Amino acid sequence: MSFSTIKSSKAVVVGALFSLLLAGCGGGGSSDTVAVAGNAGSDVESGGAQGIVLNGGAIKGVIRDGQVTAWRLEKDDDTNRFVAGAQLGGAVLTDQQGQFQLPISESASGWVLIELAATNQTRMTCDVVPTCMAGTPDAVAFGETFPLQSDFRLRAAINVDQSRDVYITPLSTLAVALAEHSAEGLSAGQLVRAYQEMESSFGLRPGTLQLPPPDLVRLNGFSGSTDAIQLAVINAAFLAMVDGDRWQSIEEVLSASEQAIQVDGQLSGEASGGPSVDDLVLEAAVLSEGLKESVIDPGALSALADVSERTQQFYASLHETAPEAAVARLSWTAPLTRINGESLSMGELKGYEIVYGRNANELSQRVVINDASVMSYTVDGLSEGDWYFAIRVLDTENLSSPLSAVVSKSI
């Protein structure tokens, strides 16, 4: 079979099938729960080994009596990915404010995984106004607490060489899931990237996920940053998604969100069945407005006003599109035969390659679509002038068709 044995869908495609739509204008260790006391960030002696104490909190509403453990991150020789390995020391329970101090009973360095799991005593504070889980039999008022199911889980990661403070939230959980989705798993580089990407995805400033999020039920007198309040509001939005219709519990929302990240690498909403970034940011915008009714402190009110403006502006930015004049929409159909007349099934197609440029004879820019079922694509960010486009088909044997005839658009 020669290099060009696929019949070009383009010889027929251009014009009728390949159309340029012109757009408008312009593991091991004890897991016994232990009581912990000590100074934040101090070194401790445990079992004869030098260790450290991790300090932090669990906030998605405040989570009290949640069990917190730490796990070493190790490279798996079989998969060449970083995964959770041995447990580092015992476990501790969060206090009434969701805070904890977790001794690591042996020396640790680099990134460590922190996990919070629910026990039969764990309770979460409702931080959604006026009611959490409205429309369900378990609805509770703002400021009240409710029990969590046994499958409730939050995670975070921390580089203990740089900090001893770690905050476990829905967003930190999704950052860990995003790193897990990568080929390297929970490596240092992927964890850094995942935390940054999660901040960017929700319009948060760099470093926000390392801030201690406040208890939204007790904002009066809060002296922290607006960034920290924005973080708490975004995390509260996950609980606001529980409406008795699509979602029945916070566990369902978090599980679907984490699964979407692990499978798709993003909160896509529609395809994954989980909530989308759009959904959550919109809920955050509504929450920040509603929280004003529960606050009298001028500083907290001012911070909430800033958070409301930020989330509304970010929500609007999610729906902005490139100017119509700066895009070219391409569509095509898949070929049915090869050049020699043999029939060609969709299962034999790998995808398409679009090439384009400012000169019809020099199409130096390219886009590869590795999905034969996709038969349209929008090229955006095009500058003013004439642009030229062509397409070829790729099959599963890495053969390709000749390029189609060239189509053009003036920007």
DSSP secondary structure string, 182-213? STTBS-HHHHHHHHHHHHHHTTPPTTGGGS--
| 233-273 pLDDT per residue, tens | 999 999 999 988 889 999 999 999 998 887 777 776 554 57
d(CA 122, CA 92): 12
| 15-26 pLDDT per residue, tens | 333 444 433 333
| 82-112 pLDDT per residue, tens | 999 999 999 999 999 999 999 986 678 899 9
pLDDT for res 347: 86
Among 127-141, 263-277, 294-308, where is mean pLDDT lowest? 263-277
Whether CATH 2.60.40.10 fits 9-24+323-410? yes
d(CA 305, CA 299): 10
Tokens 């959604």 belong to 128
| Confidence bin at 345 (pLDDT 50/70/90) | confident
pLDDT for res 322: 55
Rounded to the nearest 5 degrees, what angle is found at the Cα of 265, between the Cα atoms of 259 and 269?
A: 65
Mind giving me the DSSP string for 62-97?
BEES-EEEEEEEEEETTTTEEEEEEE-S-EEE--TT
More confident residue, 175 or 344: 175
pTM greater than 0.75: no
Could you check whether the bond before residue 137 is cis, i.e. omega within 30 degrees of 0?
Answer: no
d(CA 409, CA 389): 8
Tokens 């495609």 belong to 13
**140 pLDDT higher than 80:** yes
pLDDT for res 320: 76
Q: Give percent above pLDDT 70 in the chain.
A: 85
| Residue 112 φ/ψ, nearest 5 degrees | -130, 140
d(CA 167, CA 207): 12
> What would the mean pLDDT of 271-291 be, rounded to a whole number?
87
Report domain extents, the chain. Answer: 9-24+323-410, 33-318
Task: List strands edge to edge, sheet with 407-410.
Answer: 365-369, 349-357, 386-395, 407-410
Which residues, in sequence order, are CB contacts of 182 under 8 Å at separation 6+?
190, 194
Tell me 276's DSSP state.
Answer: P
Sign for the CA dihedral angle at 199, 124, 236, 227 comes to negative
Q: 72: helix, coil or strand?
A: strand
d(CA 225, CA 85): 35
pLDDT for res 327: 85
| Confidence bin at 387 (pLDDT 50/70/90) | very high
Residue 139 in tokens:
């609805």
Residue 401 in tokens:
């068709």
